[in-house]
Amino acid sequence: MKLRLTLAALAAASAAFALDPLEKADACSTQLSPELVPAEGYFPIGVLGDHRFRLLPFAGLNLCETSHCCYEFKDGKPCAYRKAGNGKGLFFFNVWAAHTVYNSSETKHYGTIKRPVSDSGREYGRQMIRYFDPATRQYVLDAAAATVDSVMKQGDRGSVFIWGIDNEWEPPLDYSEEAVTAFRAFLEKAYGGDLSKLNRAWGETYKAFADAQPPKVAEYTLKPGAWLDWRRFQEEAYADFIRDYFKAIQERDPDHRAVVTKSTQCTIEMQSVVRNRALNHEILADRTRDLSKGWYGIDQYGHGDRNTYEMNYLYHCILPNDPAERKFRYGVFSGEANNHAGPGWQFAQSYWRLPSNGYKGGNFFVLGYFGAKNDYSTFGLTAPDGVRRSRFHYLTRYAAMIHRSEPFWAKAEPAAGVPRIAMLMPQRDILLANDTGVSRWDYSTNNRLSVYSHLRNAGYWVDVIPYGKLNPAFLKQYGALFLVGAEHLSPKECADIEAFVQAGGKLYSDMRAGSFDEHHLEARGLEKVLGLRHKGVYTGIEVSPDDVWYNTEYGNVIRGDGKILYETTTGKLLNAEDLFHNAKAAQVVGNDYGKGKSFWFTTRLGALRPESVEPMVVSNFFGGWLKRGGVKPAYAHSTAGGDRLRVEQPQMTADGNLAIAVAGATRFALPAGTLTVALPAAAKFTHAFWAPAESALLEKVAFTRTADGAAFALPEVKTAGILYCFTTPEPLLGIAVLNPRHAAKSDPATPELVPGETVKVKVQLANPGTTELAAGAVTLRAPADWKAEPAKFDTAALKPGELREFTFQVTIPESSAHFRPNFVYPLVAEFTAGGARTGVIHQSVGMRLDPKKFDHLLSDNATDGRFPRDFAIRTGAEYIYNFPEELPDGQYVKDPSSNKTPGRSGNGLTDGLDWWSRRVTFAMPEAEVVFDLKSAYEVTAVNLRKGAPAFPNGIEVEVSEDGKSFRTVAKAPKPDWDEGGWTMVKTEPAKGRYVLVRIKYPTAKGGYLDELEIYGRPLK
């Protein structure tokens, strides 16, 4: 068969024969070798949906996700894995071993796979497996090992950065016989053989541990003790299995790389979801920390405070309980991330904050493509019309910000010695929380995120910690501890909290804090510290519900719901005057305990809300009580209120370098003003530089030292940015195209250049350190067929705090094989000294191309990452079948092929590839399809993809301007099909709105067609 190349094949061939050096991920990073071997300071950052790395390296990104599901393993066959890597980027490689039994439970060597059982006795299916069954468990572990073996065998050893497992695999609670038997053994150990204690906790009269029956999910409030024990058992069992899963993967990897899950944020605090999935993030992190090598994997969607709140919690799950232990580089890896369908400015405000809250890299979801639907449309960094969204352009600058000082962000930790407070994530109480009725994805009524946001509004740095971090060594880092709805605490946890307060810490708690232990046995574990005795929950009566109010300078305008009855012992009512004037006043009881203080609130702190006043009134309420306890805020801005501003905890490395993320919290920019920040005594910097999210440039900022930190003269902050306060003389680079004539459609900060033009590019070199930066050279790299002059600028040594600027001239060619619309191209500035490339920064630019010079997809086909269509015009095209009203007996069409009866119910010729529901069946020897492009175009080609055999053996194309009179413009009596199943038929030059494609099959039985694309050029 003679060689024929379709558009997709031509693009692939062009890329293969003309690989530009900037098309490799090492171009924008100092921490990847030319062979893509990561250095210690590598920071992984990428996007799903570009497995071939066509675009990602040009955008400054270095990572993508890929996966393999060895369906063959259950049948005793080798994995049909094909090499995925191409030397242009690295993979987060997911091993889908549990999914191998998605379609069938029968295996050749392991018998029938067993499934978990619901509390109603129903077996789950698909990718859910009963890991309590030894044979089933071993099957999954062996399937995982087989996948890794095949990846190594096919030559992808160097393509993997980190391993993952099945996508968002969070199994249900398993009520199978094996699980219940194991649970009874767990109970006997947990209760030390004390059956009477179990009976007290459960309210039962069992004669033996073997009699214990796990509660159903719906009984969580009726049987709280049994529910907490059942949950703990399930959580530990899941974590133990995941540990074995990780080990199976890592042991077959010759490089023993880290393994993580793709867990979800939904199992942190969305109680309706948490109850039904056997995952506890703290336990999972603790059981797998050595195999994950300090990473914790999560899929996280959202923005603003919720993102930092969740990220911070997960970071504190993966951190060791001993703060002195530093075996690994600890951090969170996002398998998927995005700010849902939010705008670019929101993306910047959210993600510039995350590296200061434990984020150490990951993938964003998803690149998107022309014609995308569902999640790929909603979350796509590319809109369905093919235009890159504003958050895509912010992501390219985010990557540039990371790579400017990549080793710093890879290694930095929250600075020690700064004021911060802790908030406990009380997982036991989340499991017992009632649904709000608002949404399955809602937090509980006692909303800890709400408290977190108010504390942040008030200027405080807040760490969200799991139970294990309540130990004395960890808690001594904090000035205060918040317990919001934390009613179930173990005796050790209560003792550690008591020791924290006794040593001088401040405790802020609500409701029945510490009243029960981890088995729901009454413990009253914190009453001595609180200086009171809980007497019960006020249930209210019809004419006097449990609504309460806190008084403020504006009156009783902070509303609460729910209250606890109590009597003081050593504590004192601190707002007695409010209660005197208002019988429904919520109360605060204070108690001096050792060197510290306790402040207890009678109502739910997470339910407090303003009435007829702005939310900052509630935030100031929290801030006021913290100040009364001697806990000062960490930061403030002279012209922006706390509800408009977020300053994250300073990040610091062992060599004294420090950086501070600053972001807005609303759609409004932060005006220029003075930012006062508490800093550690170890911060010895003498100069500061500001880098905004809207550019890759640097700006030197003035500052003055304060008693406990510094006051910076910040410029306006449109969305977010980074303050660099380094002590070592590391080169910081900046870059910008000067005075571009055009900008990207969705992002005014991304220049669009024109083929053939020459532009000037400014490159900055700064020395942020306290000593001299050695002499070196500044260079500017552009795509290989562009011209950048001069070749380099030699630089003399830079003094501390010095910023120099260099102007390069870049000429873009008139044409290039790389030119595509909605694409970006990197301009990469580098600093080299002593033969080493020690600094890098890039700016991504687009190209403004003349659409009349390129063939475009005109038929609105849904494309995907495997068959990208860079040149596409959204026409609104539709197609019809040109058949007689009545077909001969036995002839019919099914659109799509999955239809049970003949007829058309979909758009199988234009809605994507491969699936049975996206193909068309023609049971006839010849079929005619007429496309209406809605406007006239110059039609240049049709591109067809065959379905299953039999496929077409003849194609004819006709074009019409009015839909009535057609003329033939192409005939392909013997079409050739490439390896991807495509054949392209070029047409004579033809102007028209309607395109008729006649498809002929070898026999009267007809055949299939997967996709039909129309190509052409605009007339104007």
Do 504 and 514 reside in the same domain of the chain? yes
Do 896 and 1001 reside in the same domain of the chain? yes
* Per-residue pLDDT, 886: 86
Radius of gyration of the chain (CA): 32
* Per-residue pLDDT, 911: 87
C-alpha dihedral (348, 349, 355, 360), degrees to nearest 10: -50
Whether the predicted pLDDT of 7 surpasses 50: no
Task: For residue 742, name the pLDDT band (cuts at 50, 70, 90).
Answer: very high
H/E element, 524:
none
Number of C-alpha atoms within 13 angstroms, CB side, residue 438? 8
H/E element, 228:
helix 224-252
Whether the predicted pLDDT of 13 surpasses 90: no
* Per-residue pLDDT, 14: 43
Q: Which residues of 470-494 are buried (b: 16+ CB within 10 A; e: fewer)?
A: bbeebbebbbbbbbbbbbbbbeebb
Whole-number Cα distances in Å, 693 to 120, 310, 402, 703: 52, 23, 11, 21
Task: For residue 542, name the pLDDT band (cuts at 50, 70, 90).
Answer: low
The answer as to whether 261 is a domain residue is no
Two tokens, residue 510? 């609500």
Do 559 and 678 reside in the same domain of the chain? no
Residue that has been written with the tokens 């012209």 in this structure = 639
Q: How far apart are CA 195 and CA 215, in angstroms?
A: 17
What CATH number corresponds to the domain at position 614?
3.40.50.880
Whether the predicted pLDDT of 142 surpasses 90: yes
Provide CB contacts within 8 A for 192, sequence distance 6+. none
The percent helix, strand, coil of the chain (3-state, each to 5) is: 25, 30, 45
> Of 723, 744, 778, which closes a domain?
723
Task: For residue 585, name the pLDDT band (cuts at 50, 70, 90).
Answer: very high
The answer as to whether 79 is a domain residue is no
The answer as to whether 555 is a domain residue is yes
Do 515 and 607 reside in the same domain of the chain? yes
Task: For residue 951, name the pLDDT band (cuts at 50, 70, 90).
Answer: confident
For the beta carbon of residue 40, count every other beta carbon within 10 angstroms: 9
Whether the predicted pLDDT of 647 surpasses 50: yes
Task: For residue 700, name the pLDDT band (cuts at 50, 70, 90).
Answer: very high
Q: Which among 979, 923, 986, 929 has a CA at the least distance from the CA of 950?
A: 923
* Per-residue pLDDT, 299: 98
| Mean of pLDDT values over 456-478 | 98
> Of 693, 723, 753, which closes a domain?
723
Q: Which among 798, 789, 742, 794 has a CA at the least distance from the CA of 769?
A: 798
Do 622 and 711 reside in the same domain of the chain? no
* Per-residue pLDDT, 884: 84
Do 434 and 560 reside in the same domain of the chain? yes
Do 715 and 639 reside in the same domain of the chain? yes
Q: According to the per-residue pLDDT averaged within each range, which of 15-19, 182-186, 538-542 is highest?
A: 182-186
C-alpha dihedral (741, 746, 749, 752), degrees to nearest 10: -40
The answer as to whether 239 is a domain residue is no
Do 575 and 681 reside in the same domain of the chain? no
Whether the predicted pLDDT of 435 surpasses 60: yes
Average pLDDT taken over every residue of the chain:
95
Please tell me the total count of domains within the chain: 3
Q: Which residues of 129-158 are buried (b: 16+ CB within 10 A; e: fewer)?
A: bbbbbeebbebbbebbbbbbbbbbebebee
| Angle between helix 390-404 and 344-351 (nearest 10) | 30
Q: Which among 431, 425, 491 has a CA at the least distance from the CA of 223?
A: 431
| Mean of pLDDT values over 169-193 | 98
* Per-residue pLDDT, 587: 98
Percent pLDDT > 90 in the chain is: 93
What CATH number corresponds to the domain at position 863?
2.60.120.260
> Of 723, 738, 772, which closes a domain?
723
Q: Rounded to two decimals, what is the model's pTM?
A: 0.95
Do 529 and 543 reside in the same domain of the chain? yes
* Per-residue pLDDT, 885: 79
Whether the predicted pLDDT of 15 surpasses 50: no
Do 591 and 482 reside in the same domain of the chain? yes
The answer as to whether 194 is a domain residue is no
Structural domain of 511? 419-632
Residue 266, classed as helix, strand or coil, is helix
Q: 267 φ, ψ to 5°?
A: -95, 15
What CATH number corresponds to the domain at position 669?
2.60.40.1180
Do 585 and 697 reside in the same domain of the chain? no
pLDDT digits (tens, 9 = 90+) for 399-431: 999 999 999 999 999 999 999 999 999 999 999
Please, are residues 737 and 782 in contact by the beta-carbon 8 Å criterion?
Answer: no
Spatial strand order of the sheet with 758-766 comes to: 732-737, 758-766, 803-811, 787-789
* Per-residue pLDDT, 11: 44
Two tokens, residue 27? 């171009």
* Per-residue pLDDT, 545: 83
Q: Where are the beta strands (DSSP E) in 283-425?
A: 295-301, 331-338, 359-364, 413-414, 421-424
Do 560 and 674 reside in the same domain of the chain? no
* Per-residue pLDDT, 8: 43
